[in-house]
Structure 1
Amino acid sequence: MSESKCEIVQDLLALYAEGEVSAATAGFVEEHLSSCNECRRSLEEFQKPIFHAPGQLNSEINETREKTAAVFLVRLRRTFLMVLVLLALSAAGLASASYYAGKNVATRDPAYARAEKMGLITPVGQTKQLGQSWITVDGILFDAARTTVFYRMSPAQDMSGEIEIEMRDENGNYYPYFAGKGYRGEHFMAELAAIEPDARAVSLIFTDSAGSEKAVFDIQVDTVKLAGLTREISPELKSEAGGLKISLDKLVLGVSQSVVEFTVAVEPDSDVTGVGFGAGQPFSLGLGPDGQAHAAAAGFTGPPRGATGAPPDQPSGGPGRPAAKDAPPVGIPLLIDLTNGKSAAYEGAKYSTITSTGSVAGSFLFNALDVDAKKLKLSFPPLYAYRQTIPEEKVSLTIPTEGEVLLDRNITAGGKEIYLDRLSVEGERLCLYYRLPGQQGYFPVYLPDFRLEDNEGRPLGHSRNTWENETGRIEIYLTDPGQRDLTLNLAAVGEKLPDVVFDRIPVGN
């Protein structure tokens, strides 16, 4: 195999893995991968997750109304966490940048080249031992939108799931880990929450999976220069659609990332019980009789296949091929700089329940905007307003130990028809396949919210809803795999709302 061709493909692999190449370039890379084992192994390295957030390893599920969204995240079941982590790691900017960690990352990756030129990447150069490994923190970027750590492991090894990482400042503020990537088990990047403006020192803590050993890096913080190069805007814009009250709370324009913060709420007497962002599982809205949120939830999702905005879960030219760079954006939020007409690349979203109000707080993550941006346009992903089905439609099921069982049953709720096709066991997941007669396209005009319960109405797992090629699939991760006789409850039906757009948002200095 030509060494020069391998070098070219190696330089393209990170962008290829994230769908940031044209169809012609993707074809060139795939042709080479079909006959080069070394480059195929390198591609696999890009797709490996690295660390879990603190408290996520060996955790158990505990989804109760009384628990806050933060506790919900910490106590998620490990199998479900793996799904969330894989989604989170698909964030394009971080994954692409990780390829160049230890290889002049700031000058090779657009997200960090600007920060390097401005002298915002704080050099650290500390090395600590953790078990049989040595960790070297090369530098850290304290951006207004996120904190990014550049570090190396020696000897090189697959550390997936074996280390936790977190950060605290001198005031006791805690900054959780969100996402990260590694290359060849040696060069890594980690993304954590942005630090508070008054922080002057932080402790970066690496912990082994057993929690018995730690490597602590004490790092001084200087945010004075950063404060003059970033912007935080509180637009205080509001919109209403289908019973949902949407508030655009804050925009953080950092040097490596832009963040849009928002809140979705309902009136106290509203019949809307949940909000769905795209075809995913809805988040509960409103308060229960005890004055607390009906259910607490939190999550992080990365961009759909093809980080520039390809349709979610839609194939784009063949099995395993990322969407081409010119794929049309469908089903993701869009942030457009009206100054130059450019769209910011979407990098992911965070959602959490505010338990005291029953509303949902969210953040859309994009790459950094140009410094001369004056006005922005924000389009939300397709929103669904969910209303409870009264009476609830329930179907008794006997779960097969393997294979699948044909259901062949129609359910009608509120004039909306849902055809239950089949139920199958796929590894640790239980998958329910359904169809919505007459519904086509990426996002149907309505979606069901199914819950799996025992005979006493207690939930038995967590779900992930996808919609593809006019077929819905609900993946359920059972908390008790031994339970065989269950009830499928159609708890609510979501109605697709008109597009929610905030136009001409002023962000100029």
Structure 2
Amino acid sequence: MDEIDREQCEVIQDLLPIYADDELSAAGTKMVEEHLAGCRNCKEALLVYKEQLFEHDEIVVEENRRKFVLLPWVSGKRLAWVLVLILFIGAGGLSWAYQAGKVTALRDPEYRRAFKENLFTPVHQTKKIGPYEVTVERMLIDAAQTVVFYEIEPEIQEGERLELVISDQDGRVYEPMSGFSYSGEEHVLELKPVSPKASQLSLAFRLEGAPAEGEFIVAVEPAAVQASTSEWWPGIKREAGPVEFGLEHVILGLTKSQVNLRAFWPLDQDIRGVGFGLFPPVGPKMREDGSAGSASGSFYNVRPGMAALPWYAELVDMENRRKAELEQLGLKTDSLSGGITASFNFQPLPETTSEVQFTLPNTYLYRYVNDKEHQEISIELNDGQEEKLDKTVSGNGKQIRLTSAKRERSALILQFELIEAGSASLPSYVPEFIVVHPKGFETPGRSLEFSSENGTGTVMLYSDEWPTTVRLKSIGEQLDLEHEFNLPVPTANF
């Protein structure tokens, strides 16, 4: 497969979560379907999002709240393929029925503090857009994000979509991040936080493929909310081996708390990247001349309750002794420095505080396994079959014993045991497994678990090919890093 095909596959696989949820524009849908018609690998990847087999990189359903994640970052090299990724709202998408006295969205714990302190921006405007009436009820101008609550009547018909673009009086455009609905009725849009200088926002709705459009002009006062939130730039730097970490930005917002960390290392063809806990490693693609390639990014959602496990980051309100649970990890590679930016998104703290403690999980530096080492196995299993294994793969002086494999449709569930990995709950090294396709295309593992009871791990790989070639791509070795960051919260935030 040539470089153009590889790049197209990467773009299409970034779009698959939105395509699978039927929230992609008509142009984007056509582009994806044309690619899927001739690409078996991307067809296989599509099933991952439809079947929701894995813990990370998936659509998350939380009780009656349905949440989907939009593309967080797009590299400049791939922008021509993705075109302009603004939010396209499809049938059953982000519409919600506002009823006085029955607003489930406002009872969500994420908005409890904003509701208590009366920090919503009222809008209550209705515009006619073709056959639809769009009513924007209110907004929340948070330091962590901006949230829009609105309704569409009647429900959008199948095949029709509304396009929404949000900008301020100075022309700054704010990208959507995610949307969700409550019981299929009340829907909410979350987007990038607005500038503190914003005084007026334009919410422009347009019916795709038709001239019908409507614009809402909303006066906003970001300072009113910023007085109830905290945002600062600690500038703390720490080193572990060849990696330098910088804790750059902290937001204690009304709807979420966020800690942004940067990690970079000398450009090295042998370094695969950095992994936090058991999340997959991330690093820029290296060219043959040793320079970093194009940037990319991804989100990993954390299911409720899982963040209590020891390999997830923590955020604790030291004054009130409250812990905010990790909800999402965003990762973006940097082709200039060769490093990454990690955004740890936590639940909001219910009250103000004078000090927080941010704790990183075990952090690993991954290095590619030497091609000369024994690192591949071939697995021949049909759907529903399971096989006991007793095979050992090695790399970079480490050994991993493969103990079993199970096929569930296109998912290959591989169980392994680390040999001499130290503490079971905090292993000193972890493997990265991938599927290698006959044409050379690689599919990474979608989920990784580790049991502290028996010292075994499980990786879920994806392939319809028979037999399936599984390769040990890299080994992550634990970095000797001071994990705790004690952060006094400044009284003057801006």
TM-score (structure 1 length as normaliser): 0.69
> What is the Cα deviation at residue 230 of structure 1?
3.1
2:401 to 409, 416, 419: 419
Task: Indicate if the aligned counterparts of 1:203 and 1:216 stay in contact, CA closer than 8 A.
Answer: no
| Cross-structure match for 1:402 | 383
What's the CA shift string for 1:226-245, capped at 9, x where partnerless? 34333321110011224321
Are 1:113 and 2:112 matched, yes or no? yes
Alpha carbons of 1:159 and 1:110: their partners in 2 closer, same or farther (altered >3 Å)? farther
Matched residue type, 2:331: Y
* Partners of 1:184 and 1:497 in 2: CA distance: 44
> What is the Cα deviation at residue 134 of structure 1?
5.0
1:453 to 431, 436, 457: 436
Task: Indicate if the aligned counterparts of 1:373 and 1:508 stay in contact, CA closer than 8 A.
Answer: no
> What is the Cα deviation at residue 385 of structure 1?
1.4
1:489 to 451, 466, 471: 471
> What is the Cα deviation at residue 455 of structure 1?
4.3
What's the CA shift string for 1:339-391, capped at 9, x where partnerless? 23322233322111112222111111223346642222110122121112223
* Partners of 1:131 and 1:183 in 2: CA distance: 26
Pick which of 421-430 and 383-392 moved more: 421-430
| Cross-structure match for 1:474 | 459
What's the CA shift string for 1:238-277, capped at 9, x where partnerless? 1122432111001122233221111011123595431112
Task: Indicate if the aligned counterparts of 1:243 and 1:272 stay in contact, CA closer than 8 A.
Answer: no
Are 1:506 and 2:483 matched, yes or no? no
* Partners of 1:139 and 1:236 in 2: CA distance: 35
> What is the Cα deviation at residue 492 of structure 1?
0.8
Task: Indicate if the aligned counterparts of 1:249 and 1:261 stay in contact, CA closer than 8 A.
Answer: yes
Matched residue type, 1:359: G
Task: Indicate if the aligned counterparts of 1:91 and 1:303 stay in contact, CA closer than 8 A.
Answer: no
1:381 to 349, 361, 364: 361
* Partners of 2:412 and 2:209 in 1: CA distance: 32
* Partners of 2:180 and 2:271 in 1: CA distance: 39
Matched residue type, 2:460: E
* Partners of 1:206 and 1:343 in 2: CA distance: 39
Unaligned regions of 5+ residues in structure 2, if any?
A: 1-19, 34-43, 68-94
Pick which of 421-430 and 247-256 moved more: 421-430
What's the CA shift string for 1:460-507, capped at 9, x where partnerless? 3343132143443333345xx4x4455432121112334643433222
Are 1:178 and 2:159 matched, yes or no? no
Pick which of 366-375 and 257-266 moved more: 366-375
Alpha carbons of 1:503 and 1:454: their partners in 2 closer, same or farther (altered >3 Å)? closer
* Partners of 2:245 and 2:160 in 1: CA distance: 37
> What is the Cα deviation at residue 334 of structure 1?
1.2
| Cross-structure match for 2:308 | 310
- Show the 5 A alignment for 1:213-292: 216-220=214-218, 221-268=220-267, 272-284=271-283, 287-290=286-289, 292=291
Unaligned regions of 5+ residues in structure 1, if any?
A: 1-48, 62-75, 312-329
2:318 to 338, 360, 372: 338
2:329 to 349, 354, 358: 349
Alpha carbons of 1:78 and 1:338: their partners in 2 closer, same or farther (altered >3 Å)? same
* Partners of 1:130 and 1:278 in 2: CA distance: 48
Matched residue type, 2:114: A
What SS does the corresponding residue of 1:331 show, helix, strand or coil? coil
Task: Indicate if the aligned counterparts of 1:127 and 1:134 stay in contact, CA closer than 8 A.
Answer: yes
- Show the 5 A alignment for 1:122-133: 122-127=121-126
| Cross-structure match for 1:465 | 447
- Show the 5 A alignment for 1:168-207: 168-204=167-203
| Cross-structure match for 2:87 | none
CA RMSD of aligned residues (A): 4.2
- Show the 5 A alignment for 1:363-378: 363-369=343-349, 372-378=352-358
TM-score (structure 2 length as normaliser): 0.71
Task: Indicate if the aligned counterparts of 1:155 and 1:186 stay in contact, CA closer than 8 A.
Answer: no
Task: Indicate if the aligned counterparts of 1:51 and 1:159 stay in contact, CA closer than 8 A.
Answer: no
What SS does the corresponding residue of 2:115 show, helix, strand or coil? helix
* Partners of 1:269 and 1:218 in 2: CA distance: 50
> What is the Cα deviation at residue 296 of structure 1?
4.0
> What is the Cα deviation at residue 183 of structure 1?
2.3
| Cross-structure match for 1:19 | none
Alpha carbons of 1:234 and 1:379: their partners in 2 closer, same or farther (altered >3 Å)? same
Matched residue type, 2:489: V
Alpha carbons of 1:399 and 1:268: their partners in 2 closer, same or farther (altered >3 Å)? same
| Cross-structure match for 1:66 | none
Task: Indicate if the aligned counterparts of 1:268 and 1:286 stay in contact, CA closer than 8 A.
Answer: no
What's the CA shift string for 1:126-176, capped at 9, x where partnerless? 345678765432211111101112233445699999877664445454433
Equivalences, count: 422
Alpha carbons of 1:420 and 1:219: their partners in 2 closer, same or farther (altered >3 Å)? farther
| Cross-structure match for 1:73 | none
Matched residue type, 1:418: I
Alpha carbons of 1:245 and 1:499: their partners in 2 closer, same or farther (altered >3 Å)? closer
* Partners of 1:288 and 1:341 in 2: CA distance: 47
What SS does the corresponding residue of 1:112 show, helix, strand or coil? helix
Overall identity of the aligned pairs, in %: 28
* Partners of 1:120 and 1:211 in 2: CA distance: 37
What SS does the corresponding residue of 1:284 show, helix, strand or coil? coil
